[in-house]
Amino acid sequence: MALIVHKYGGTSMGSIERIKNVAKRVAKWHDAGHRIVVVPSAMSGETNRLIGLAKEITPQPDPRELDMIASTGEQVSVGLLSLALQAIGKQAVSYAGWQVPILTDSAYTKARIQSIDDQKVRRDLEDNKIVIITGFQGVDEYGNISTLGRGGSDTSAVAVAAALKADECLIYTDVDGIYTTDPRIVSEARRLSRISFEEMLELASLGSKVLQSRSVEFAGNYRVPTRVLSSLTDPLMDLEQEANSGTLISFEEENMEQAVISGIAFNRDEAKITVLGVPDRPGVAYQILGPVADANIEVDMIIQNQSVDGKTDFTFTVPRGDYDKAVRALNEHVRGHLGEANIVGDNKVSKVSVVGVGMRSHVGVASKMFETLSKEGINILMISTSEIKISVLIDEKYMELAVRALHKAFELENA
Ligand code: ASP
Ligand code: MG
């Protein structure tokens, strides 16, 4: 008998029919003798609808009130799932975040979980109940409802699994695992049966949308065995087979598939900004990036050129959606401080990254990547690296070509 947390995303909870299927699947696991806690998302589209309602009243809703509204989607889905389980003869009980409680800080719309009280849940499990806890939401120390940011149910589920020291956290979703790259771009993309936690963290933060990256951090910090698998299979399929499907996020590197590169991530929507002719003296990077940070814009890649005659160029990337705002912030603050510095930009650029723990022990990954791109005539605009990834910024129109060429060059289609 194991203690297992199941997480179901919005698509899996998208209709009464699907909720009934979730109930059948959960009941199957319970029948096999496991103790089960379920953490569902709101029904698909619901969170968008709720946020849309708030924005019909005011374009910039007060974050506390927005969380009050957005959190209700999950409250509906836990109640429905509990009813669906009861309807097929299971004892089930649903809880909102504040009832557990899942304690968070007060950073509304992007709160962080601080602690989870497991007592109530454990008592229910002892009583043979299936416990259903809202994803995405919690409560702060003053009793205000908070939410964890879009896609936050993944983090709720992993955090609940960590608090309960669950044997496994199963993330059921509308894809059947983690792929070497997006199969919509490369049809030969292959599902990985395992991926290391570090690789998963890179992929999640590089734009693979399967898991919220904070959930992967949680899985890593608390060593929660986490598996991504499909909720679209027959809910009554063989349990053993289901338990071994999908992709396991693993903490043991020696068991990894032996490839040097595990996956290729990409982010289409990037923008690049260059400040030309800035004086090369202490404090310049701060003067350029300070106002960008103050405008709440995340900066990703950064390069500063070699200076010539005491002047240099400074280039960085931001999410494309923040491009105009970043240029405005720079124009307002930097010009005054940096004399005749000139701002130029390009908001049609994309980032492509190769990720793999094998890079630590293999040389030549970067040169192979650059050779592959050069053979395709793709110009590299910026490069950044970590111990287990290499990212390049390229013209948006070559992004798919680059992903396909790299997938082939690193032979990712072969297991
Ligand atoms: N319902 C929330 C959202 O749509 C949380 C989640 O689905 O993970 O972002
Ligand atoms: Mg999600």
Q: Output the domain CATH number for residue 289.
A: 3.30.2130.10
Region 266-292 average pLDDT: 91
CA distance 74 to 138: 11
For ligand 1, whether the C-beta of 97 sits within 6 Å is: no
In a domain, 139, yes or no: yes
Ligand 2 (ion): residues with CB under 5 Å are 9, 151
Residues 205 and 293 in one domain: no
164 pLDDT more than 90: yes
Query: What pLDDT shows up at residue 269?
Result: 94
In a domain, 86, yes or no: yes
- 163 is in which domain, residue-wise? 3-254
> Considering only 91-100, 124-133, 254-263, 346-355, which range has the smallest mean pLDDT?
254-263
Residues 157 and 126 in one domain: yes
In a domain, 415, yes or no: no
The sign of the CA dihedral 52, 56, 60, 66 is negative
Residues 198 and 228 in one domain: yes
In a domain, 382, yes or no: yes
Q: Which of 214, 231, 254 is the C-terminal boundary of a domain?
A: 254
Query: What pLDDT shows up at residue 57?
Result: 98
pLDDT band per the 50, 70, 90 thresholds, residue 82:
very high
In a domain, 414, yes or no: no
Residues 27 and 76 in one domain: yes
In a domain, 281, yes or no: yes
Q: Residue 91 is part of a domain; what is its CATH number?
A: 3.40.1160.10
Query: What pLDDT shows up at residue 4?
Result: 98
> Is-contact 259 412, C-beta < 8 A?
yes
Residues 272 and 327 in one domain: yes
Beta bridge pairs of residue 351: 267, 393
> Is-contact 62 100, C-beta < 8 A?
no
Q: Which of 235, 254, 273 is the C-terminal boundary of a domain?
A: 254
The sign of the CA dihedral 198, 199, 205, 211 is negative
Query: What pLDDT shows up at residue 167?
Result: 97
Cα 161 to averaged position of ligand 2 atoms, centre (Å): 17
Its pTM stands at 0.88
> What are the percentages of helix, strand and coil residues in the chain, rounded to 5?
40, 25, 35
> Considering only 214-228, 329-343, 400-414, which range has the smallest mean pLDDT?
329-343
% of residues, the chain, pLDDT over 70? 97
Q: Which of 254, 275, 307 is the C-terminal boundary of a domain?
A: 254
Residues 136 and 22 in one domain: yes
188 pLDDT more than 90: yes
Is pLDDT larger for residue 175 or for residue 93? 93
Pick the ligand that lies closest to the CA of residue 155.
1
Region 367-391 average pLDDT: 96
39 pLDDT more than 60: yes
- Kindly provide the residue ranges of all beta strands, DSSP E only, lying in 164-260, ordered along the sequence: 168-173, 194-196, 226-230, 247-250
Name which residue sits closest to atom 4 of ligand 1, judged by CA.
47
Region 62-88 average pLDDT: 98
Region 106-111 average pLDDT: 95
CA distance 28 to 25: 5
Report the domain count for the chain.
2
In a domain, 392, yes or no: yes
Mean of the per-residue pLDDT values for the chain?
93
Region 132-157 average pLDDT: 97
Residues 82 and 229 in one domain: yes
Is pLDDT larger for residue 287 or for residue 318? 318
Residues 141 and 115 in one domain: yes
Mutate to test the pocket of ligand 1, among 43, 51, 150, 209 (most ligand atoms within 8 A of CB): 150
277 pLDDT more than 90: no
pLDDT band per the 50, 70, 90 thresholds, residue 210:
confident
Name which residue sits closest to atom 9 of ligand 1, judged by CA.
150
Q: What are phi and psi of 102, to 5 degrees?
A: -100, 105
Residues 165 and 308 in one domain: no
Q: Hunting for tokens 């009050």 — which residue is that?
A: 68
Let me know if 333 is exposed, middle or buried by CB neighbors in 10 A (0-12, 13-18, 19+). middle
% of residues, the chain, pLDDT over 90? 82
Each residue's pLDDT tens digit, 233-262:
999 999 999 999 999 998 876 555 567 899
> Is-contact 196 253, C-beta < 8 A?
yes
Pick the ligand that lies closest to the CA of residue 174.
2
Residues 87 and 8 in one domain: yes
Residues 242 and 280 in one domain: no
Residues 56 and 183 in one domain: yes
